[in-house]
Structure 1
Amino acid sequence: MEDNKMNEIKIIICDLDGTLLNEEEMMSELTINTIKKLKENGYLFGYATGRPICSIENLMEKWQMNKDIVDIVIGLNGGHIKDYRLNREEKCFQIDGKLIEKIITHFQGFPVNFGVYKDDYLAVFKDDDLAKRLATSDNIPYIVENFQDIYKSKQSKLIVITHPSDMKYIREHGQKLNHPHLKSLQAGQIEYEYMDPQLSKSLGLELVCSWHDLSLKNLLAFGDADNDAEMIRDAGIGVAMENASTLTKSYANYITGSHQNDGVAYFLLEKILGGNI
């Protein structure tokens, strides 16, 4: 049954951190060559990530993955979508600034910083090593801003930035803030994020598929973290990494190798490209 579903795949989408990228935040030569082979075989290829699109575009050259190879980027967990083949762009559900103020108040006294992504930089609550670490990872600048102005505007998401050693109790405290217009999840080693509950990578991918007269059944998706779970569940074929969360693995049709061992590339070579590169 799964092999028949594989024949319907037209679009291949990968999460980045913990999925396509290794611990050095790079792609191996095998991964790069495998994706180029996908393109030669007529597949659409793209990323679905919590990172902002400005970060992805800044890093494309470093990853040897220009817009001739990457057709689609779903950024901010579905909050910002760019389709380079169709030259289309859209921003989806955003959260109100008053809710951002409420979240920040909820974390008063905790060892955290806060960030929101603007078009080409990270706006942060204060200057510290956490802000620097996140901005460096995204390859974008960060600027300390007056959040009173942010409270008056809508944003795609709010990032609560913390040290990995503190994440467990930051996550536990974050989950205590219940609001009908907010959902929260851990999106990385140092990022706990709040966004509109309707927002997801699946929503963004469903929109992109419609632009190409396709549906989610034509989608093959790879992911690892909880923010990939819906995408893995809803894709025609969902593949979780060996290093994926328990939730994401629970929805997967397949489990592949880890991000450190070219799990994406080996799966594509076996199931899509017939071992040829």
Structure 2
Amino acid sequence: MTTKLVICDIDATLVNEKKELTPRTKKDLIQLHEKGIYFGIASGRPADELKRNKEYWDLPFDFDFVVGMNGAELWDGVHQKFYSYFMMKKEWLKETMEIMKVVKCNPMIYWNGKIRCVHIDDMMIHSATTSHKELEVVKLEDFYAHENAKIMFRMKEEDMPKAEAWVKEHPNPYYHGFKTQSTLLEFCDKRINKGYGLQKICELNDLDIKDVMAFGDTSNDNDMLKVAGCGVCMINGTDDTKACANAITKQDNDHDGLAIYLEESGILC
């Protein structure tokens, strides 16, 4: 295939478990840029936050594309334009609060540059630290006072199977819930996913989606890997994501799995 765009999930894919971009991966990303191949990142976090990773990783170039909020936000760096798609309605947000009473969890949303939550615990502090955002404790009704791209629920890892099963057993025609981390379940409009964000990138920039190489590791990456010309799952990824991929890396994210795949694919030559 001819690769014109490489787009990557971040956690457990592009960075290691310490949230670091390794020197080898950084070198390969710079080489991609120098060869004129577009580079983008895709995550469940807000696009404005994701753009700042350029500074955190000390990259000498701006991201060409940033897919945020699992596809509800898109920053097109080529045309310097921002887009948002399909917000969760207020009544849907309220409904998810009832749905998630099946397990003990802490709801959270991004709002005005902060993370809103019901109470502060170790998991919420971790979320705030990794996203470089301030925590704001609010009442339950504040979660559905405005439309939002998504709502998230932090819970203990051992409670996730029960939460996932409950959501699967109670489907909704308008929105869906899915695991994005071992302790995090999210809800968003059914039309939204990272694959949708990738398709919008291609439409806006006259790119053939067959010329895209996408990397991911878990369920919220599945649609992106399915629509890309080459979908690559990390060897440390989940089984459902491996099943969606065209290829699986030889090494995990702690051992430069993504970089090794790029080098062996030949697109850096």
Quickly name the TM-score band, shorter chain normalised.
Answer: over 0.9
Does 2:93 correspond to 1:92? no
Contact 1:54 / 1:119 at 8 angstroms: preserved in 2?
A: no
SS at match of 1:77: helix
- Which deviates the most, 195-204 or 263-272? 263-272
SS at match of 1:32: helix
Contact 2:211 / 2:228 at 8 angstroms: preserved in 1?
A: yes
2:206 maps to: 213
Amino acid at match of 1:55: E
Amino acid at match of 2:38: L
After superposition, the C-alpha distances for 1:185-219 in whole angstroms (9 at most, x for unaligned) are: 10012210111111011111111111111131121
* Offset at residue 265 of structure 1 (A): 0.6
1:190–1:65: structure 2 CA closer, same or farther, 3 Å change rule? farther
Amino acid at match of 1:37: Q
1:173 maps to: 166
* Offset at residue 98 of structure 1 (A): 1.2
1:260 maps to: 254
Count of aligned pairs between the two proteins: 268
After superposition, the C-alpha distances for 1:7-64 in whole angstroms (9 at most, x for unaligned) are: 2x21100001111011101110000010000000000001011122233234332222
Contact 2:214 / 2:231 at 8 angstroms: preserved in 1?
A: yes
Alpha-carbon distance in 2 for matches of 1:100, 1:37: 43
- Which deviates the most, 223-232 or 45-54? 45-54
1:19 maps to: 13
Does 2:127 correspond to 1:145? no
Alpha-carbon distance in 2 for matches of 1:65, 1:163: 35
Does 2:192 correspond to 1:187? no
After superposition, the C-alpha distances for 1:126-158 in whole angstroms (9 at most, x for unaligned) are: 232232121112121121223424323211111
SS at match of 1:107: helix
Structure 2 stretches lacking a partner, 5+ long: none
Contact 2:150 / 2:186 at 8 angstroms: preserved in 1?
A: yes
Alpha-carbon distance in 2 for matches of 1:96, 1:209: 27
Alpha-carbon distance in 2 for matches of 1:47, 1:90: 15
Contact 2:17 / 2:254 at 8 angstroms: preserved in 1?
A: yes
Structure 1 stretches lacking a partner, 5+ long: none
Does 2:240 correspond to 1:240? no
Higher helix share: 2
After superposition, the C-alpha distances for 1:205-239 in whole angstroms (9 at most, x for unaligned) are: 11111111113112110011011111111101111
Alpha-carbon distance in 2 for matches of 1:18, 1:113: 23
Q: 2:32 aligns with which of 17, 30, 38?
A: 38
Provide TM-score, normalisation by structure 2.
Answer: 0.93
Amino acid at match of 1:16: I
Query: 4+ residue stretches of structure 1 with deviation over 6 A?
Result: none
Alpha-carbon distance in 2 for matches of 1:195, 1:85: 27
Contact 2:231 / 2:247 at 8 angstroms: preserved in 1?
A: yes
After superposition, the C-alpha distances for 1:150-170 in whole angstroms (9 at most, x for unaligned) are: 323211111011122332223
* Offset at residue 119 of structure 1 (A): 4.3
- Which deviates the most, 172-181 or 93-102? 172-181
2:243 maps to: 250
Amino acid at match of 1:268: L
- Which deviates the most, 172-181 or 94-103? 172-181
1:112 maps to: 105
